[in-house]
Amino acid sequence: MGIEIEAKSICKNYDEYEKVLKGIDLKIESNTFNVLLGQSGSGKSTLINIMSGLLKPTSGETLINSININTVDEKTLADYRRNIISNIYQDYMLLPELTVRENIELGNGTDGDTIPLASITEILGLDEFINKYPSQLSGGQKQRAAIARAIIKKPKILFCDEATGALDEENSKLVVKLLHDIKEKFGITIIFATHNLKIALTADRVITIKDGLIVKDVKNDKVLSPMEINWGIEEPADE
């Protein structure tokens, strides 16, 4: 069964002077690849953190199958974070003292519903690195390990915050391609925040955020394959 996530009238101010999110309404369809596109400072990370239950909005709500996860009790929130969603970031956040396999296994949820390690390492091309330590991996390999750790618990939604931000073009393409592959294979909804227009070309839907407001929201009818795109020099996203 799909999980529907919906942001309703979300506003956020970290302090009394600046409104960072000014009323975000957003409903995400399950098993889709969504790009949240916007320049640095537009509010992408704030929105992702609120929808991940890491941060409380000043007003508004995040509904998961009609439950507002921004106001639920600690246990329900922990269940949501452990079993329903996952996050990856620009920094891979692997533990240096653990092997790739041990890092991935850290991602296991609590409800027992997992993806077999072997099918994850195969799809992410990690088989030969499984007993290595993070320091022995390239950036792209580290991010693939971080993806593996994020999906082993079979989340319904994977939030990716600038997940290619530290990677070169080839590795960025590969990571985006692999995120498309895991969306298809395991039915995981992707919400990818980035300032990189090229990633938007591969998405089913592109939601553009500017100064805390959604200024554009389009379904892509010509989705491009990540490997075919000439990423070239990064252009700053503008509305």
Ligand X SMILES: Nc1ncnc2c1ncn2[C@@H]1O[C@H](COP(=O)(O)OP(=O)(O)O)[C@@H](O)[C@H]1O
DSSP strand pairing (205-210 vs 33-37): parallel
Cβ 180 to ligand X, closest distance in Å?
A: 22
Name the one range near ligand X by CB under 6 A: 34-42, 66-74, 125-133, 151-159. Answer: 34-42
Place of tokens 């639920």: 72
By C-beta, is 45 or 143 nearer to ligand X? 45
Helix locations, the chain, DSSP H: 44-51, 74-79, 100-105, 117-123, 139-151, 169-186, 197-200
Is 41 a residue that touches ligand X (CB under 6 A)? yes
Is 40 a residue that touches ligand X (CB under 6 A)? yes
Of these, 26, 28, 35, 44, which contacts ligand X (CB under 6 A)? Answer: 44
Is 164 a residue that touches Mg ion (CB under 5 A)? no
By C-beta, is 44 or 173 nearer to Mg ion? 44
Of these, 10, 28, 37, 43, which contacts ligand X (CB under 6 A)? Answer: 43
Is 238 a residue that touches ligand X (CB under 6 A)? no
Cβ 29 to ligand X, closest distance in Å?
A: 23
By C-beta, is 132 or 210 nearer to ligand X? 210
- Centroid of chain to Cα 112: 22
Is 20 a residue that touches ligand X (CB under 6 A)? yes
Residue 20 contact among Mg ion, ligand X, none, beta carbon within 5 to 8 Å by kind: ligand X
**Of 44, 45, 28, 42, whose CA–CA distance to 204 is shortest?**
28
Asked whether the CA dihedral 40, 46, 49, 50 is positive or negative, the reply is negative
- Residue 157 tokens read as 């939604």
Give the number of residues written for the chain: 239
Is 14 a residue that touches ligand X (CB under 6 A)? yes
**Of 182, 171, 156, 165, whose CA–CA distance to 86 is shortest?**
156
Contacts of 17 (CB under 8 A, 6+ apart): none
Residue 41 contact among Mg ion, ligand X, none, beta carbon within 5 to 8 Å by kind: ligand X
**Of 238, 92, 95, whose CA–CA distance to 171 is shortest?**
92
Is 45 a residue that touches Mg ion (CB under 5 A)? yes
Size of the site for Mg ion (CB under 5 A): 2
Is 52 a residue that touches Mg ion (CB under 5 A)? no
Q: Which residues here bind ligand X, judged by CB under 6 A?
A: 14, 20, 38, 40-46
